């Protein structure tokens, strides 16, 4: 069975069956229709408009009133006042939009031997079929080196290629035109203006433009180039796209393909994950396409190779939608076929955007993380304005959404989510994570003001409760609700567990970053490095850290979600926010906090008993939770549940509708089942199911300068290879047995007999 191939015996019937391509900036969805092909296209900066100042001018004066009402239990009045005075004006930020479609008419109505496939190891979509004795093949790739979408159509046999090509974007375009005799263009001047352009780069037949169409006649091969440029990156976008395609025309298809594969495989080949099914299972699925194999799994059959493909598909998607210099992966990565997509296909930062990057560092793909920090820098500028205008605080704040402009004002009129102020704080946790894996001091210097200002805002916004602890008010446990003892329904509250856990992580990260930079600033060899370090802020952060409420256990044995034992109204809620400290946080571990770990298990069991995990991303989060708790069987149950219950035919994650976060969160969860690293201890197969007897995992990055390979065969640990940049000691843990290993620089083969 060929690895890394998703293949289908039929064209896509709808968008959820189309196959994705991307290079971070450009995206395409290939339907593979023989007679009338549809290719839906995206460009990461095509959004509904320019930046806005949506900060509510009445927020600051009403904040003390809202806090007082919440403290008194007058939730209805507090929440009504919040809707008026703390909502953004207007309430919606910009949304991500489709760039339109490429339509290619061929006249090939009755075809045989049809196949379309996505090669995950090459990032190429191929469609092939026979028509009237001729074999037709279409190859599609989106090159990062050439920054262009490339399509090559070929025919072998008596029939020639006769294509009619049209660009479209119904109701949202200002101009369709033919240019230069070999190109067509679509221009839209609303929202963020842009130009789509398609050019016939090489053709052994006839090429002409008629009306708004590009027409190819009597050819055996034609290469088409497509690009989009927007006013977001260049005011001269129409000339820029034309000039770029003129430059790329000089490159042969084979050269474009070769450079594309080299660039892509430089990232994709850093890791591997191999599952070995039984011979019987492999024989059962060898002739089945991906859609049929997914259906087979839904009927309860095992398919380890499909799980393997699903893991690699997640890696493929992040490589394809988040590259240096592009925008980060949004709710749909880069792929969106709507003008008004669900939730605006924005950056939802109360878990979804963060989940998109959970595996980036673990799989040694740190450069894919960089677009998130570029966005965070833009948010920092806007968030300082929001902090001052709305709350009268210094520092920077963001709520539960942002857009390409880094808008930080509250989004929507939605009490369960809109008014939560820790979106920026959570994103800032990625700063220290990236530094921990890369030790890139220049990155830390660049991002330290963002981290510092996130803490500064909180030191001023925190308020004291009746016990002397510091809490946020108003706040919310993201998207959940409760019943107050007085009978009122509460969305807003004074303090909740997730808040304290995020702030605890953030404050520790800030202190670690501060001390790291202070040491560097004081070192003789680094005098040229300048960074502003505020001792007074550090003391405030340390004081706030010492006064945050601890994570507590409810009388029913679960982790408390709010500061009080309120009545829960959605026992199976998709957000399990109060387990943030378990994952992605580091505050709950089986070895260091056994009581909280047991309470976390009960929390998960209770959520799942009442229907939790019903969205793809929630199920992915649950995989990570069970893995951190060392529950391999339960983690694997949820991996299978995600594949069979929340996965679309093209393997996109299904919220429903499609959201990409579940694809990424599940990759992280599978990594956590095989490796975990904390406190200088590398856990080997800490949550691996008995059902899987053979696995090989290559290229796990435990921390800076330390990568691990592992082979497990016939139910036994066979090989562990650790590669270190420098000599070091590390603790290995396998099945609760620990050994200390002294590593030399370079490759170190571990004697697995030490565990037996």
pLDDT single digits (tens) 100-139:
999 999 999 999 999 999 999 999 999 999 999 999 999 9
The mean pLDDT value for 210-235 works out to 98
Rg (CA), the chain: 27
Query: Lowest mean pLDDT: which of 170-179, 210-219, 337-346, 604-613?
Result: 170-179
CA distances from 618 to 201, 222, 328, 575 (A): 45, 45, 21, 7
**DSSP 8-state code for residue 205:** S
Task: Specify the pLDDT at position 682.
Answer: 99
- Beta-strand ranges (E) seen in 120-220 are 124-131, 134-143, 148-156, 161-168, 175-179, 183-188, 194-203, 206-210, 213-219
| Chain centroid offset of residue 468 CA | 38
**Going by DSSP bridges, is the β-strand pair 482-483/489-490 parallel, antiparallel, or unpaired?**
antiparallel
The single-letter DSSP state of residue 723 is: E
Give CA separation, 704 vs 327, 571, 583, 699, 748, in Å.
26, 40, 20, 13, 16
Residues listed for the chain: 756
pLDDT at 97 > cutoff 90:
yes
pLDDT, position 516: 96
Count of Cβ atoms closer than 10 Å to residue 453 Cβ? 21
- Cβ-count burial of 527 within 10 angstroms (0-12 exposed, 13-18 middle, 19+ buried)? exposed
Phi, psi at residue 311, to the nearest 5°? -60, -50
Residue 750 has pLDDT above 80, yes or no: yes
CB 324 within 8 A of CB 18: no
pLDDT digits (tens, 9 = 90+) for 232-245: 999 999 999 999 99
Output the pLDDT for position 415.
98
**Cβ–Cβ < 8 Å for 284, 181:** no
479 Rama class: left (phi>0) / alpha (psi -120 to 50) / beta: left
pLDDT value of residue 673? 99
Q: What is the mean pLDDT of residues 500-514?
A: 99
Closest to 450 measured CA to CA, from 380, 504, 518, 514: 380
Query: Which of the residue ranges 241-255, 277-291, 411-425, 495-509 would you say has the lowest mean pLDDT?
Result: 277-291
How do residues 36-57 score in pLDDT, each as one tens digit? 999 999 999 999 999 999 999 9
Residue 522 banded pLDDT, cuts 50, 70, 90: confident
Local confidence band at 756 (pLDDT 50, 70, 90 cut-offs): confident
In angstroms, the CA 453 to CA 456 distance is 5
pLDDT band at 531 (very low <50, low <70, confident <90, very high): confident
pLDDT-derived band at 404 (thresholds 50, 70, 90) equals: very high
**Span 352-359, mean pLDDT?**
99
Spatial contact of 158 and 132, defined as CB atoms under 8 Å apart: yes
Predicted TM-score (pTM) of this structure: 0.97
Location of structure tokens 């015996």: 9
Tell me the pLDDT tens digit for each residue of 583-633.
999 999 999 999 999 999 999 999 999 999 999 999 999 999 999 999 999
* Burial classification of residue 269, based on how many CB atoms lie within 10 Å of its CB (0-12 exposed, 13-18 middle, 19 or more buried): exposed
Domains of the chain, start order: 5-47+98-268 (2.70.98.50), 59-89+322-612 (1.50.10.10)
> Which three-class secondary structure string do you get for 515-567?
HHHHHHHHCHHHCCCCCCCCHHHHHHHHHHHHCCCCCCECCCCCECCECCCCE
**How large is the average pLDDT for residues 687-714?**
98
Structure tokens at 554: 């409810």
Task: Assign 488 to helix, strand or coil.
Answer: coil
Angle at 146 between CA 144 and CA 148, to 5 degrees: 80
Q: Which of 274, 273, 295 is nearest to 284 (CA)?
A: 295
What is the average per-residue pLDDT within 526-531? 68
Residue 527: is its pLDDT beyond 90? no
CA distance readout (Å), 412 to 83, 92, 325, 391, 499: 9, 6, 29, 18, 21
- pLDDT tens for each residue of 446-472: 999 999 999 999 999 999 999 999 999
| Lowest-confidence pick of 221-230, 248-257, 279-288 | 279-288
Distance from C-alpha of 396 to C-alpha of 509, rounded to nearest angstrom: 16
* pLDDT of amino acid 525: 62
Burial of 756 (0-12, 13-18, 19+ CB in 10 A): exposed
d(CA 707, CA 743): 12
pLDDT at 524: 63
Given a cut of 90, is residue 526 above it in pLDDT?
no
Quick one: what percent of the chain has pLDDT higher than 70? Answer: 99
* Through-space distance between the first and last CA atoms of the chain, rounded to whole angstroms: 35
Q: At what angle do helices 441-461 and 497-522 cross, to 10 degrees?
A: 130
What is the pLDDT confidence band of residue 528, given thresholds at 50, 70 and 90?
low
């Amino acid at each position: 069975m060929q690895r890394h191939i998703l293949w289908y015996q039929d064209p896509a019937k709808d968008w959820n069956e189309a196959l994705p391509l991307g290079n971070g900036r450009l995206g395409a969805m290939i339907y593979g229709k023989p007679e009338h092909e549809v290719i839906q296209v995206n460009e990461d900066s095509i959004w509904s408009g320019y930046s806005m100042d949506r900060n509510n001018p009445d927020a600051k004066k009403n904040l003390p009133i809202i806090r007082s009402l919440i403290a008194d239990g007058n939730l209805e009045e507090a929440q009504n006042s919040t809707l008026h005075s703390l909502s953004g004006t207007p309430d919606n930020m910009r949304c991500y939009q489709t760039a339109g479609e490429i339509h290619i008419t061929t006249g090939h109505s009755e075809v045989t031997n049809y196949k379309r496939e996505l090669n995950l190891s090459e990032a190429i979509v191929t469609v092939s079929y026979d028509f009237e004795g001729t074999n037709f093949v279409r190859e599609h790739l989106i090159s990062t080196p050439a920054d262009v979408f490339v399509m090559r159509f070929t025919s072998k046999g008596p029939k020639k290629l006769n294509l009619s090509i049209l660009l479209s974007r119904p109701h949202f375009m200002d101009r369709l035109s033919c240019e230069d005799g070999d190109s067509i263009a679509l221009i839209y001047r609303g929202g963020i203006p842009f130009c789509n352009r398609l050019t016939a780069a090489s053709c052994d037949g006839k090429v002409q433009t008629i009306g708004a169409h590009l027409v190819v006649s009597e050819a055996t091969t034609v290469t088409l180039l497509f690009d989009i440029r927007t006013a977001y990156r260049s005011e001269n976008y129409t000339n820029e796209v034309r000039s770029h395609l003129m430059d790329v025309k000089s490159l042969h298809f084979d050269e474009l393909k070769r450079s594309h594969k080299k660039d892509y495989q430089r990232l994709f080949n850093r890791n591997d994950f191999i599952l070995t099914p039984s011979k019987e299972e492999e024989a059962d699925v060898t002739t089945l396409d991906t859609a049929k194999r997914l259906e087979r799994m839904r009927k309860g059959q095992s398919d380890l190779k499909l799980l393997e493909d699903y893991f690699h598909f997640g890696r493929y998607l992040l490589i394809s939608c988040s590259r240096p210099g592009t925008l980060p992966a949004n709710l749909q990565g880069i792929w969106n076929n709507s003008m008004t997509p669900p939730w605006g296909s924005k950056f939802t930062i109360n878990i979804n955007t963060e989940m998109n990057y959970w595996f980036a560092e673990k799989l040694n793909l740190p450069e894919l993380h960089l677009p998130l920090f570029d966005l965070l820098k833009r948010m920092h500028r806007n968030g300082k304005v929001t902090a001052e205008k709305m709350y009268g605080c210094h520092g920077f704040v963001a709520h539960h959404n942002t857009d390409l402009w880094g808008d930080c004002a509250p989004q929507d009129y939605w009490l369960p989510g809109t008014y939560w102020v820790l979106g920026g704080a959570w994103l800032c946790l990625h700063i220290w994570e990236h530094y921990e894996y890369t030790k890139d001091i220049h990155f830390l210097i660049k991002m330290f003001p963002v981290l510092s200002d996130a803490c500064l805002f909180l030191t001023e916004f925190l308020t004291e409760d009746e016990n002397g602890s510091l809490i946020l008010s108003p706040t919310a446990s993201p998207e959940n609700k409760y019943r107050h003892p007085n009978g009122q329904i509460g969305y807003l509250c004074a303090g909740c567990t997730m808040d304290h856990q995020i702030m605890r992580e953030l404050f520790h990260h800030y202190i670690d970053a501060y001390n790291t930079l202070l040491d560097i600033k004081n070192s003789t060899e680094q005098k040229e490095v300048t960074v502003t370090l505020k001792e007074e802020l550090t003391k405030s952060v340390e004081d706030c850290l010492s006064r945050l409420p601890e994570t507590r256990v409810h009388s029913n044995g679960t982790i408390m979600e709010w500061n009080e034992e309120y009545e829960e109204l959605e026992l199976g809620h998709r957000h399990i926010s109060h387990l943030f400290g378990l994952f992605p946080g580091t505050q709950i571990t089986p070895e260091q906090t056994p009581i909280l770990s047991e309470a976390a298990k009960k929390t998960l069991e209770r959520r799942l008993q009442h229907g939790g995990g019903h969205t793809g991303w929630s199920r992915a989060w649950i995989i990570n939770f069970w893995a951190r708790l060392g529950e391999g069987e339960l983690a694997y149950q949820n991996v299978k549940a995600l594949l069979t219950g929340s996965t679309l035919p093209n393997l996109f994650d299904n919220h429903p509708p499609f959201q990409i976060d579940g694809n990424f969160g599940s990759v992280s969860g599978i990594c956590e089942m095989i490796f975990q690293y904390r406190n200088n201890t590398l856990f080997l197969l800490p949550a691996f199911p008995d059902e899987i007897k053979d696995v090989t995992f290559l290229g796990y990055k435990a921390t800076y300068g330390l990568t691990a390979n592992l082979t497990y065969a016939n139910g036994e640990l066979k090989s562990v290879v650790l590669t270190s940049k420098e000599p070091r000691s590390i603790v290995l843990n396998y099945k609760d047995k620990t050994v200390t290993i002294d590593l030399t620089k370079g490759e170190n083969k571990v004697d697995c007999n030490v565990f037996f």
